[in-house]
Amino acid sequence: MSARAMTARRAALRWRVMPGVLISVEAGLGSMVPVPHVAADAASIADSAASRAGAVTAYVASYNAGTVTPIATATNTAGPPIPVGKAPVAIRITPDGKTVYVANYDSGTVTPIATATNTAGPPIRAGDGPWAIAVTPDG
């Protein structure tokens, strides 16, 4: 392959990777957002009961701390971090907005969080290294 072709290939690859990096940085430096699921999260938040009422909370996973931090989007104020498990890597919100599920990779668990109180429920065993979560449209 010629040097010119290699340069063109690198440029194309860079632009394929860049949107994922931007989305992850936008979500917060302490978070890990699986890029293919960002649109699903946004749809879940937009359709939630809390969103329709005007109160929206963003949830940011901190991989190293093993916590999820709720942020009131109206004021950009962070609430107290919620302990969830080792290495939280994915977050999903149920369509009704009542529960947030967090996949904890190193714990092998999923932690439910009640959005009304931002309290974690008992962890659910989910096998070795859960990495992603999907919630059906009907919850």
Domains of the chain in sequence order: 3-125 (2.40.10.500)
User: Mean pLDDT in the chain?
Assistant: 75
Q: Tell me, what's the pLDDT at 53? A: 55
Q: Tell me, what's the pLDDT at 55? A: 75
**Residue 108 Cα distances to 63, 87, 111, 121, angstroms:** 14, 9, 10, 15
Q: Quote the CA–CA distance of 109 and 126 in Å, as a whole number.
A: 5
Polymer length in residues for the chain: 139
- pTM of the full structure: 0.63
65-114: pLDDT as tens digits: 999 999 999 999 999 999 999 999 999 999 999 999 999 999 999 999 99
